[in-house]
Structure 1
């Protein structure tokens, strides 16, 4: 499967063009992404969007925008004037995200900050143990009374039989 997700900066504004045969819109732009090492120079890559996404990209994105590109890598062969062929990689965009969280794909909705739940706001259903209970020894094993059910009369065993899973793969 050919799938790529890339965080990059747009270094050349998207240009909206149309194919000659059926006037399908496409937008091409140049993006730059940094390497894993600090001393390495950033790499440029041509990115192309097609159809309605191309129109959205041309309208909503500018040079200098930080974006996340999702798509597939493609190799293009170019005949050079010097007499040889050159292969160049390009990213065919399927989804494009501003780093501020908005989406330009028409299919997905981005989470908004008011829908995000802060960490540590989850209310636990567990009642805290007020004082620790010492383990009680009952023969060969230790029994910890703090693991008692909070309402033992509410627990009922299931009447449905357990199905035996014969699958070798655990998921």
Structure 2
């Protein structure tokens, strides 16, 4: 099953359009997220929301806002100006969770208790070098099972 959760920052404001047949709203925005390594450039991704979620994106999301997104990731083939084709990732939104100060709840109407990430206590924010790890083996030496 294709289900992704991303922590992102909005880099382009959502724009809304409508389907021709039944006038379903579709919102699109561009977000950026940190690379895997510290020296990696941030990644960019197009996010698409449908229906009521599209309206919520248009009304509640602003450039620079940090969000936690849930949804599906897919690849689209897009023609370039030089005639070649390019594959681009697209994220279809299913849930939206604001992060940080001023987040009063999700755009999907879920309870506000799910929207705010738990604050990490200062003791847990210590440098990784300061952590003391248990060096004991996971399986006692007397165990005869080889795995």
How many angstroms does 1:20 deviate by?
2.1
Q: Find the counterpart in structure 2 of residue 75 from structure 1.
A: 75
Q: Equivalences for 1:51-90 in 2 at 5 Å?
A: 51-90=51-90
Work out which of the two has the higher radius of gyration on C-alpha atoms and give 1 or 2: 1
* Runs of 4+ deviating beyond 2 Å: none
Q: Could you tell me which residue of structure 1 aligns to residue 111 of structure 2?
A: 109
Map residues 7-156 of structure 1 onto 2, 5 A cutoff.
7-100=7-100, 101=103, 102-106=105-109, 108-111=110-113
Gaps of 5+ in 2: 122-147
Write the distance in 2 (CA, Å) between the matches of 1:76 and 1:18.
20
Q: Deviations over 1:86-131 (max 9, x none)?
A: 111110000001003521113x21218xxx9xx9xxxxxxxxxxxx
Describe the superposition over 1:40-99 as per-residue Cα deviations: whole angstroms up to 9, x where unpaired: 110000001000000011000000000000000011111222112211111000000100
Count of residue correspondences: 114
Structure number with the bigger relative contact order (C-alpha 8 A, sep ≥ 6) is 2
